[in-house]
Amino acid sequence: MAAFNILVLPGDGIGTEVMAEVERLIDWFNGQGIARFEVERGLVGGAAYDAHGEAISEETMAHALASDAVMFGAVGGPKWDGVPYDKRPEAALLRLRKDLGLFANLRPAICYPALADASTLKRELVEGLDILIVRELTGGVYFGEPKEIVDLGNGQKRAVDTQVYQTYEIERIARVAFELARTRRNKVTSSDKKNVMKSGVLWDEVVRDLHRRDYADVQFEHILADNCGMQLVRAPKQFDVIVTDNLFGDMLSDVAAMLTGSLGMLPSASLGAPDEKTGRRKSMYEPVHGSAPDIAGKGIANPIATIASFGMALRYSFGLGEWADKLDVAIANVLDQGLRTRDIMQPGMREVSTTQMGEAIARELAALGG
Ligand code: IPM
Ligand code: MN
């Protein structure tokens, strides 16, 4: 039986509540003898700052580097608004992404049939939606230098962020997008702002080149990022895989999330390059939503994004794709049965707590597995 080390970092706010539902599933997989998951837990974000004065300790970073997968909840909250910039909760997330080399961020937006009416868009626009945003995660304006605010001494300040990409960074993320498209509807849309940005000109050149050389069988389109945002709310089903940079990917994936009914539904996987010897990739899995301090501690958060993120771990890190499929079916079935957390509650449905939703999905999975 394959053994894997999982580092669980629940973080802040609803992070701890939704992650408890993933731990329930991990225990179930262990109990069934489907895999052997060794779980380590750590603090991250505000919780780590309160304990050690850092958003993530060196010890936890070392555990992350040694793990097969990190399960990340969410970080941040008003309590830490005043902490120094380099110690803010988000700094931990950015450091994990950077130091683990997690350049490929996969953000699928799937509209479960039962939720087609929960979206703010009309049913016919989102019913059956299944798109995948492939976001570059370790480059661009998030990490480019210089990144600073300079006091000009005349009562003015100047703030600088740097958008920078090299050929290899664009090529490796585009390769991930083309490979994944081949397993889906075989279409890639590349999004940038080449009409105003040099980094966009290079982005487009590199992606087109790679397409011509290695992926001519995949349908390819270019779209400017502003138009992409518009098209996502106008006719989202035209897309299959969208590949884009770190900042545009951040924004476009929030837009895509709302197509699915709630931000509480969107999972993500962040992957590094495969290890030359073992073939294993460093990886981290996290819901796209944040720590939602306004509803933390109430037991009403939607655990589906985090559970579906664990499903992505089953697929991409643990070689358990058939269990990932079963988990997706379990989620769809529970929604079909009318169970809803508050964020996706609709008339005539049954409102359940975070724990009840987690239990129902685990029960459904057990039924499918048996
Ligand atoms: C996300 C988040 C992060 C990002 C924040 C918390 C730093 O919005 O994962 O989309 O901007 O990447
Ligand atoms: Mn975001």
Residue spans of the domains in the chain: they are: 1-103+269-370, 130-259
Tell me which CATH code domain 130-259 carries.
3.40.718.10
Please enumerate, as own/partner, the contacts of 352-356 that have beta carbons within 8 Å and a separation of 24 or more: 353/299, 353/300, 354/14, 354/17, 354/18, 354/20, 354/21, 354/299, 354/300, 354/301, 354/302, 354/303, 355/20, 355/21, 355/299
Ligand 1 pocket test, pick from 250, 289, 306 with the greatest ligand atom count within 8 Å of Cβ, gives 250
pLDDT tens for residues 163-187? 999 999 999 999 999 999 999 999 9
Mean pLDDT of the chain: 96
Ligand that comes closest to the CA of residue 76: 1
pLDDT at 321: 96
Residue nearest to atom 5 of ligand 1 (CA): 90
Q: What pTM did the predictor assign?
A: 0.96
Closest atom of ligand 1 relative to the 94 alpha carbon: 7
Unique residue bearing structure tokens 């996987």: 269
pLDDT tens for residues 122-167? 999 999 999 999 999 999 999 999 999 999 999 999 999 999 999 9
Residue nearest to atom 4 of ligand 1 (CA): 250
Ligand 1 pocket check for 136: Cβ under 6 Å: no
Whether the per-residue pLDDT at 279 is higher than 90: the answer is no
Closest atom of ligand 1 relative to the 93 alpha carbon: 7
pLDDT tens for residues 309-353? 999 999 999 999 999 999 999 999 999 999 999 999 999 999 999
pLDDT at 38: 98
Q: How far is CA 243 from CA 258, 279, 355, in A?
A: 19, 24, 35
pLDDT at 262: 84
Whether the per-residue pLDDT at 302 is higher than 70: the answer is yes
pLDDT at 54: 98
Tokens standing for 350? 């049954």
Ligand 1 pocket test, pick from 81, 93, 94 with the greatest ligand atom count within 8 Å of Cβ, gives 93
**Same CATH fold assignment for domains 1-103+269-370 and 130-259:** yes
Tokens standing for 292? 């939602």
pLDDT tens for residues 11-33? 999 999 999 999 999 999 999 99
CA of 251 to the centre of ligand 2 (A): 6
| Residues whose CB is less than 8 angstroms from the CB of residue 210 and which lie 6 or more positions away in sequence, other chains included | 171, 174, 175, 178
pLDDT at 247: 98
Q: Select 1-103+269-370's CATH number: 3.30.300.30, 3.40.1390.10, 3.40.718.10, 3.40.50.280.
A: 3.40.718.10
CA of 290 to the centre of ligand 1 (A): 8
CA of 247 to the centre of ligand 1 (A): 9
Ligand 1 pocket check for 90: Cβ under 6 Å: yes
What CA–CA distance (Å, rounded) separates 291 from 216? 42
Q: Identify the band that residue 370 occupies on the pLDDT scale cut at 50, 70 and 90.
A: low
Asked if 173 contacts 207 with a C-beta cutoff of 8 angstroms, the reply is no
Ligand 1 pocket test, pick from 12, 90, 244 with the greatest ligand atom count within 8 Å of Cβ, gives 90
Q: Among 5, 62, 228, which Cα is nearest to 131's?
A: 228
Whether the per-residue pLDDT at 43 is higher than 80: the answer is yes
pLDDT tens for residues 83-124? 999 999 999 999 999 999 999 999 999 999 899 988 889 999
Ligand 1 pocket check for 54: Cβ under 6 Å: no
Q: Where are the alpha helices (DSSP H) in the chain?
A: 14-32, 46-52, 58-66, 89-99, 123-126, 167-182, 198-214, 225-234, 246-259, 304-316, 321-336, 354-369
Residue-level length of the chain = 370
Tokens standing for 128? 């059956």
The mean per-residue pLDDT over the stretch 304-308 comes to 97
Ligand 1 pocket check for 93: Cβ under 6 Å: yes
Q: Identify the band that residue 261 occupies on the pLDDT scale cut at 50, 70 and 90.
A: confident
pLDDT at 118: 86
Give first-to-last CA distance, the chain, whole Å.
Answer: 19
What CA–CA distance (Å, rounded) separates 128 from 206? 32
pLDDT at 258: 86
Residue bearing the bigger pLDDT, 6 or 119: 6
User: Which residues are marked as active site?
Assistant: 142, 193, 226, 250, 254
CA of 151 to the centre of ligand 1 (A): 27
What CA–CA distance (Å, rounded) separates 177 from 135? 9
Unique residue bearing structure tokens 């394959």: 2
CA of 250 to the centre of ligand 1 (A): 7
pLDDT at 95: 97
Q: Among 70, 72, 75, 103, which Cα is nearest to 91's?
A: 75
